[in-house]
Amino acid sequence: MRRAGWLLAGLLLAGCHRVERADPASEGNGTTTPPPSSQGDGRTLRIFMWSDYIDPQVVKDFEKREGVRVVIDTFESNENMLAKLQGGGASYDLATPSNYVVQTMVRAQLLQPMDKAKLSHFGNVAAGFLNPNFDPGNTYTVPYQFAATGLAYNSGRYVPPEESWRLIFGPEDRVRFALLDDPREVIGAALKYLGHSVNSTDVEELRAARDLLRRTVRKRGFESFSGGPETRNKLLAGQIDLGQIYVGDLLQGAAEDRRLKVFLPREGTTISTDTLVLLRGSPNPALARRFVNYVLEPQVSAAISNYTYYGNPNRAAQPLLDPFLRAQKAFNPSAEDFSSGRVEFINELPRGAAPRLYDRIWTELKSR
């Protein structure tokens, strides 16, 4: 169970451990390029993952058990991850893409089959995460963690008058806020506020979302597009009043500072599952599969979620999860949340005009 202060732990670990953390101000580009001399030696595992997304002790234990070194570089968005992998130059064994970019990676020939027959603990995966629509038969992916996206605040400084995206997207311009540096999350939130699906491909709906977002980023209160951990730090420091955030990133902070709160806006929000994938260019695929199998062990899986405060897709790990986690409504959306559309999975967009429109909207917002 994770109880040490995450800030303190981050400071201590930054100096002495092999888990690399991205500088929040770097907007999540990878931080460490492993020396080419150690690649493919069967003794070094390289993982490209979302920041603040694993318990460092779990990594240390694996290194000790296997007598290997684990190097972790971090990213803050699927788009940054894809750009780095497609750009070549960095060779990782594993990555943690979200569900909705898995098929993009398959088509780009970035993945090799996970071969779940080689994973003796695969049977621990909860039924709801087996055979997902984004990866029939779990050919390429093992579910890692999941979370909905909410709006967070520091109740010691600001208490929102309602649980609505209106605080950000409405006409008033009194709160200082940050949006995630993540196109599907930001455009998805605007679509939800307007009463549409987060996966809309309707040109008129997307134009309305674009117009809303144009107005939103011109507000005086708009502070930044930020990754989740950066938004959490800005809330703690009082730099913003509200922040769009992956719920797990906020709860990591809330476990230490109970003034941090998060809610799922009443108009609805997004959810996504992050996965472990084996990269096609993996220098050490056998070691990588051993790591994935290790993560599937109930104690290891629970230790990761008890540290990161993200949703856990491992059936056998459920009894080992921190009660704080299980008590979070934002962490465990109900069946009704899904059926009503209050929480909606981000899916891959069908190929064609819609992805280009999303790209254009995002490029315009980022270059404002």
- 309 marked among binding-site residues: no
Identify the residue among 19, 21, 34, 52 touching ligand SPD (CB under 6 A): 52
Closest CA to 275 of 182, 138, 142, 77: 142
Task: Count the site residues for ligand SPD by CB under 6 A.
Answer: 14
Number of CB atoms found within 10 A of residue 368's CB: 10
Identify the residue among 184, 192, 210, 342 touching ligand SPD (CB under 6 A): 184
Identify the residue among 135, 181, 274, 337 touching ligand SPD (CB under 6 A): 274
* Amino acid letter, 179: L
Our finding on whether 272 is near ligand SPD (CB under 6 A) is yes
Part in contact with ligand SPD (CB under 6 A); list of ranges 51-59, 130-138, 315-323, 351-359: 51-59
Our finding on whether 135 is near ligand SPD (CB under 6 A) is no
Our finding on whether 73 is near ligand SPD (CB under 6 A) is no
- 182 marked among binding-site residues: yes
Euclidean distance between CA atoms 50 and 304, whole angstroms: 13
Euclidean distance between CA atoms 51 and 26, whole angstroms: 12
Q: Please return the burial class of 137, using the count of CB atoms within 10 Å of its CB with bins 0-12, 13-18 and 19+.
A: exposed
How do 269-279 and 111-112 pair as beta strands?
antiparallel
How do 141-154 and 260-263 pair as beta strands?
antiparallel
| Contact pattern from residue 193 through residue 232 relative to ligand SPD, giving x for each residue in contact according to CB under 6 A and a dash for the rest | -----------------------------------xx---
Q: Which of residues 303-342 bind ligand SPD (CB under 6 A)?
A: none
Our finding on whether 98 is near ligand SPD (CB under 6 A) is yes
Euclidean distance between CA atoms 276 and 112, whole angstroms: 12
Our finding on whether 53 is near ligand SPD (CB under 6 A) is yes
Structure tokens at 146: 């999941």
Our finding on whether 246 is near ligand SPD (CB under 6 A) is yes
| DSSP letter assigned to residue 120 | T
Closest CA to 316 of 300, 328, 327: 300
Structure tokens at 1: 């169970």
Identify the residue among 249, 267, 337, 344 touching ligand SPD (CB under 6 A): 249
> Residue 249 or 267: which CB sits closer to ligand SPD?
249
> Residue 167 or 247: which CB sits closer to ligand SPD?
247
Euclidean distance between CA atoms 346 and 140, whole angstroms: 19
Q: Which residue of this chain has its Cβ atom nearest to ligand SPD in the complex?
A: 50
Q: CB of residue 118 vs ligand SPD: minimum separation in angstroms? A: 26
Euclidean distance between CA atoms 330 and 170, whole angstroms: 23
Q: Could you list the residues known to form a binding site for spermidine, using ranges.
A: 100, 182-185
- Chain residues binding ligand SPD by CB under 6 A are 50-53, 98, 182, 184-185, 228-229, 246, 249, 272, 274
